[in-house]
Structure 1
Amino acid sequence: MHPTEEAAVPTRVIGLISGTSVDGIDAALVEISGTELDLKVELLAGVTYPYPAELRERILAVGAGVAISMAELAEIDDAIAIVFAQAAQNIQIGHHPATLIGSHGQTVYHRPPADRGMGKKTTPHYPLSPEGTPPSPLGYSLQLGRGALIAYLTGITTVSNFRVADIAIGGHGAPLVPRVDAYLLSHPQQGRCIQNIGGIGNVAYIPPRHGDWLSKIRAWDTGPGNSLLDLAVEHLSAGAKTYDEDGNWAASGTPCHPLIEQWLNQDYFHLPPPKSTGRELFGVTYLHQCLQDAQAYQLNAADVLATLTELTAASIVHSYRTFLPEMPQRVLLCGGGSRNFYLKQRLQLLLTSIPVWTTDEVGLSADFKEAIAFAVLAYWRHLGIPGNLSTATGAPQEVLLGEIYQGQY
């Protein structure tokens, strides 16, 4: 069957992802038809399944650079795949079964290509190999929760390891969602920024849908999102809280603007796209430096959190004003940060007259948009349609994304 003919028949796909914040597994059961401009997606069910507490702690430890053995790495890889498979099975209860899974997995390490996206103007230091050769110019990104085990446990063909093909030809392997954003959220007359605020923030600028619009899309990681705020909340509450619900704690404080100006001098914010980042830069070490900087201003806990929240908002707006060809007519938020009312309020204030909405308001779930996107990327991989955008990842060409593991269907 030709891909176009196959795409005319709606396909039921499950998208699975756990982001940098390691909040849990976002699972989306969707029905997809069409290919690109005629792409149609219907969300049948969306659920976030929390990680078992012990597994979450192990993932966070690995992401923070704690040394483990290869045997322990294999155990964690399997444990993540098992809970992802359970999420895929549970999301189908009460629905007709899916025939395809797209699993992003759990990122535990992300290294952009040398000299690009590391937050440094010089080549980042990596240990030399035993032969004394210099580090590879290619990036590296590791997602745990292997697709082969998910396919085996669910019996459903699974596409995973989406980032490696883009990285293999010199791209960052991130962000990968902009091509999906382009076909689901573009507008004929309106330029839009699709701003995901997950553990890390990333933007896709989608110009009006006419002419050579696809080549004008720009996308990159804007900097810290929820993971830095979550780390701060856990630290400031002595472990009593893991996140700032609705941004209420930050809203009770006052941002320290001299600190924000100081933090915005960090090299990453001035590095031109394409660029990507993660906990390797905006993680525990970065938070401790921020807390140390804040001591000079004698800030209380609420003020510290308000200032870090303002950094997320200010870094997003700084990114737009510095790197976009023009400011958008509308900003559409998605991800967990879209539910942080205080953060959304600060973004709206900094963007003045540009409306800040969520993707919910244009018909696409803000909570499950990333999971939906990986369902679409798996669907495209099944049909033989490229999933990356060169203008987003920096790769020299478009490629098929994901490795396919056959299930029983």
Structure 2
Amino acid sequence: MRVLGMMSGTSLDAIDVALVEFTRDAEEPSLLRARPVHVGERPWPGEARDALRAALPPAPSDAATWSRLHAAVGDAFATAAAEVLSAQGGADLVATHGQTLYHDVQDGRVASTLQIGDPSRIVAATGTPVIHDLRSADVAAGGQGAPLVPILDQLLLGTDPDERTAVLNIGGISNVSVVGGSENGRGVESGPAPGAVIAGDLGPGNCLLDAAVHAATGEPADLDARIARTGTVDHAALATLLTDPFYARPLPRSTGREHFDGQYVRGMLEAEGAGGIDALSLPDLLATLTELTTVTIARAIGELGASRVVASGGGIRNPLLRERLAAQLAPVPLLDADDLGIPADGKEALLIALLGYLSAHGLPGTLSRADGTSHTGARSPVVLGSLTPPHALRGRQYASNAPDSVPVGRLEITDPAGTAR
């Protein structure tokens, strides 16, 4: 089955795409093989990206704005899908995350979540059925709706009894999945139950850094941390930012730009009488926010008993952030996902393709814990997503093929020749 996965995160830097061919092992049906046919990204149309940024919290917006954005995001994803499928020979299914417009967390509980991007426009552009709205079913079951990546992390890295792996993604928000290990494994003495999967959002990744740079210079980011490297961490401001109660909430937890918005730093520093954001130069502010991201990640992972950290996401390409994170995690090693055969730049799109495959076969997209609940905190794991058009999979061989309905126990990424990486 060929699935095109598409993802756009909170950083709004691009639309990630991955066309993946999934096959079951003939002798071991619980082994799913994923052959990436194409992994890449498509730029956001400038007008749509700017309109999205203008509508994100704390900016006010109305139903008309959201409706127009739903159409514009659908068009952007439709164009990206059509370009890839035209060049790569089509797919059986498109799976799209869309763009999160609002993730409503109240006292640690997710009341609602909204991802936009009209799937009908993708169907119209490609003639291919679309699975979308991947978080709502989990929220309806009492879960956080996030993070969704632990199922991919578990299937790729969670079967090793000797490694307790913290799989870290640093996008606009940072999140982690901790998978693998056993009672005889390394690094689990101080963490959760051996072999248990634990996951959640850790705090800001790039979002506060990018917001500060954009506000001061109009640029989308501090390329290669050139400005931040010239600054000095303001430890009083850092201490104030670390008092946010979010960091004390247990995993699973989720957050987004609704909490860490463009006015977050100003509000925290002024509320606590820490001199205010205007007392910091831009280099010092960026150095401080880099330290905030790395400290909160390292502290959270340090409590989870990991023996190694495998990282991906745009934040890991920030050289200063990476250096500070590696220093704070030591002696636990910080590895690149690419080094383990996992396409770091395409990992989130690969996840969406996997979720589309699972949903098409009626398989849950979240992991079960020992008590029967989901890793997201939901009452149980659930099948994720909605299908457009609703009859699209009826009668198709891959929808009823018995081996494809076996729960997946392991995922193996292969190269174009079909060789395991």
Both proteins in one fold, TM over 0.5: yes
Which residue of structure 2 aligns with residue 192 of structure 1? 165
Distance 1:249 1:294 in 2: 21
Greater Cα offset, 387-396 or 334-343: 387-396
Distance 1:32 1:347 in 2: 35
Q: Say if 1:193 and 1:203, in contact at 8 Å, map to a contact too.
A: yes
**Does 2:20 correspond to 1:30?**
yes
Which residue of structure 2 aligns with residue 70 of structure 1? 63
Which residue of structure 1 aligns with residue 197 of structure 2? 217
**Does 2:42 correspond to 1:49?**
yes
1:265-312 deviation digits (Å, cap 9, x = unpaired): 110001112210001110112032357546489432111101101101
**Does 2:129 correspond to 1:157?**
yes
**Does 2:12 correspond to 1:19?**
no
Give 1:12 deviation, angstroms: 1.5
TM-score, length-scaled by structure 2? 0.83
Give 1:51 deviation, angstroms: 1.5
Give 1:62 deviation, angstroms: 1.9
Which residue of structure 2 aligns with residue 279 of structure 1? 257
Give 1:226 deviation, angstroms: 1.1
State the superposition RMSD in angstroms: 2.4
Give 1:38 deviation, angstroms: 1.4
SS of corresponding position for 2:97: strand
Task: List gaps (5 residues or longer) in structure 1.
Answer: 1-10, 118-137
Give 1:141 deviation, angstroms: 0.4
Distance 2:225 2:343 in 1: 20
1:71-122 deviation digits (Å, cap 9, x = unpaired): 332221011011101111112343221111110000010013x4316xxxxx
SS of corresponding position for 1:42: strand
Amino acid across the alignment from 1:172: Q
The 1:254–1:370 alpha-carbon spacing in structure 2 relative to 1, beyond 3 Å, is same
Task: List gaps (5 residues or longer) in structure 2.
Answer: 185-191, 368-372, 397-421
**Does 2:233 correspond to 1:255?**
yes
Give 1:330 deviation, angstroms: 0.9
Q: Say if 2:240 and 2:268, in contact at 8 Å, map to a contact too.
A: no
SS of corresponding position for 1:14: strand
Of the candidates 286, 295, 308, which is equivalent to residue 289 of structure 2? 308
1:342-368 deviation digits (Å, cap 9, x = unpaired): 111111000111111111110111111
Which residue of structure 1 aligns with residue 245 of structure 2? 267
The 1:215–1:188 alpha-carbon spacing in structure 2 relative to 1, beyond 3 Å, is closer
The 1:99–1:214 alpha-carbon spacing in structure 2 relative to 1, beyond 3 Å, is farther
Give 1:185 deviation, angstroms: 2.6
Give 1:65 deviation, angstroms: 4.4
**Does 2:299 correspond to 1:318?**
yes
Identity %, equivalent residues:
37
Which residue of structure 2 aligns with residue 246 of structure 1? 224
Amino acid across the alignment from 1:402: G
Q: Say if 1:18 and 1:24, in contact at 8 Å, map to a contact too.
A: yes
Q: Say if 2:175 and 2:202, in contact at 8 Å, map to a contact too.
A: yes
Give 1:200 deviation, angstroms: 0.7
Distance 1:252 1:33 in 2: 50
TM-score, length-scaled by structure 1? 0.85
Amino acid across the alignment from 1:27: V
1:215-239 deviation digits (Å, cap 9, x = unpaired): 71000100001111110111222x1
1:31-180 pair list within 5 angstroms: 31-34=21-24, 38-112=31-105, 114-116=106-108, 139-180=111-152
The 1:297–1:97 alpha-carbon spacing in structure 2 relative to 1, beyond 3 Å, is closer
SS of corresponding position for 1:393: coil
Distance 2:100 2:326 in 1: 30
Give 1:264 deviation, angstroms: 1.1
